[in-house]
Structure 1
Amino acid sequence: MVKAVIFDMDGILIDSLPIHMKIWGIIEKELGFKIRPEEGVKFNGMSLREMITYLKKNHDIPATSDEIYEMKMRLQKEMFWDEVTLFKGVEDLLKELNTSGIRCAVATSSERYFMDMVVDKFDIRGYFSGFVSCDDVKKAKPEPEIFLLAAKRSGTKPKECVVIEDAPNGITAAKKAGMKSIAVMTTHTEDALHDADLIVNSIDEISLSLLKNI
């Protein structure tokens, strides 16, 4: 029986990919390097620190890891508040789950600052009983730590949770955590998300009845 739903943030709650791409484009231009398309796919589910470690190892970048991190954080703070949007259907689903007594949690590879900014900007904090960011775990997705902690903070067992994700790393992490998963095709194709228990086109296709039958 489903007692909790764990939501990824980027690509599930918010349409943030265009903003992230714009920010990385600014950083690439300023520092003189180019992220290849296949590298961008690898970044899904990684923390920012992990992305930067990868970039420093595979590109000749004339800046320290800390300098790149501070640049990305500064640009996010400047751009996210005005440009990020909530996906259609998110708030309706949260209301339905809360009314039915299903607990909700957020488990994101983003920093706590941005997780807090998002839930406060859209006034959705009250729907959630647990929050986990990359700042709370030692190992990011595809390791299961982030989802196991989200289950603990929402007061449920892993087998009672369903994860809603948009990235292969997140689906793998859910499987390792012993949780069912629903993949939403906001950032990846159906083929890339084939390990999910269910695949949908958008989050507004997800309902309580669908979750109960997964």
Structure 2
Amino acid sequence: MTVNLPPQPVPAADPTVDELLQDVDGVVVDWDGTVVDNAEIRLSALQQALASYGVDVDPQWYALNCGLPIREVIVRLAGPRTLPVEEIVPASRRLLLNGPPPRLIDSTMNLLRRAEALGLPRAVASAAAGVLIHPLIDRLDLGELLPVVVTAESVARGKPAPDAYLEAARLIGRAPSRCLAVDDAPDGITSALEAGMRVLAVRDGLLVPVPGLIPG
């Protein structure tokens, strides 16, 4: 079911946003914590899915590791223990899919809408599973704004490897060095930098340029 959102006007030129998009040929964004503010929802779902196994998830630890694929997060949380990952992952996903839709992050949405108005191609590059992202894109009516979606299943290596961002650049037909990436997690930022993109980090709802590239 699609969430009925009020129509969005075509954004007028914003000096700050236009400066961020200067000399850019495409925009590639992470999903969780970048387009949607769902960190607390994801943390709660994971905590509930792990509760019966006696595993607690520290919010500060999760904030630093939430950019990883969920299976990797669970393995790191387990430590020397062996947890039934293939049971925990579906349980966490069911909780997420049955919950309310998350809030959109205004700064990222403003950037994407301005990029759309300027005719710049846009894509998602996420470490999350497609089964979580595609239904939300439909519910939030973001299909036209984000027509290209790279998920965990799309690439051989997850973040912090650059594969997701490189694949997104390939699909929108732009050189990675000409793309602007937006991500909120350390592993995602590393992924985008290693792909050779300019990067904005989401910090407290704001878009903050990340200086430099990782030496190759």
Quote how far apart the aligned CAs of 1:95 are.
2.4
Amino acid at match of 1:23: A
Quote how far apart the aligned CAs of 1:129 are.
4.1
Amino acid at match of 2:67: G
Counterparts of 1:155-170 in structure 2, within 5 Å, are 155-170=173-188
1:16 aligned residue: 38
Quote how far apart the aligned CAs of 1:88 are.
2.2
Could you say if the C-alpha distance between residues 83 and 100 of structure 1 is closer, same or farther in structure 2, counting changes exceeding 3 Å?
Answer: closer
**1:99 and 2:99 equivalent?**
no
Determine the C-alpha separation between the residues in 2 that align with 1:105 and 1:127: 9
From 94, 116, 125, give the equivalent of 1:74. Answer: 94
Quote how far apart the aligned CAs of 1:146 are.
0.5
**1:32 and 2:54 equivalent?**
yes
Please give the root-mean-square deviation of Cα atoms over the aligned residues, in Å: 2.5
1:182 aligned residue: 200
Counterparts of 1:1-214 in structure 2, within 5 Å, are 1-37=23-59, 39-56=61-78, 58=79, 60=81, 63-79=83-99, 82-186=100-204, 196-197=210-211
- Count of aligned residue pairs for this structure pair: 190
Percent identical pairs in the alignment equals 26
Contact 1:12 1:186 in 2 (8 A): no
TM-score, normalised via structure 2 length? 0.79
Quote how far apart the aligned CAs of 1:89 are.
4.2
2:17 aligned residue: none
1:203 aligned residue: none
Contact 2:93 2:132 in 1 (8 A): no
Determine the C-alpha separation between the residues in 2 that align with 1:127 and 1:21: 27
Paired residue secondary structure (1:101): coil
Quote how far apart the aligned CAs of 1:180 are.
0.6
Which 5+ residue runs of structure 2 have no aligned equivalent?
A: 1-22
TM-score, normalised via structure 1 length? 0.79
Quote how far apart the aligned CAs of 1:83 are.
4.0
1:26-52 Cα distance to aligned partner (Å, 9 max, x none): 123322121245542442321112222
Determine the C-alpha separation between the residues in 1 that align with 2:69 and 2:55: 20
Determine the C-alpha separation between the residues in 2 that align with 1:76 and 1:118: 10
Contact 1:174 1:181 in 2 (8 A): yes
Determine the C-alpha separation between the residues in 2 that align with 1:117 and 1:59: 35
Paired residue secondary structure (2:28): strand
Determine the C-alpha separation between the residues in 1 that align with 2:89 and 2:37: 22
Contact 1:129 1:153 in 2 (8 A): no
Determine the C-alpha separation between the residues in 1 that align with 2:60 and 2:41: 19
1:89-108 Cα distance to aligned partner (Å, 9 max, x none): 44443222111111111011
Determine the C-alpha separation between the residues in 1 that align with 2:63 and 2:102: 21
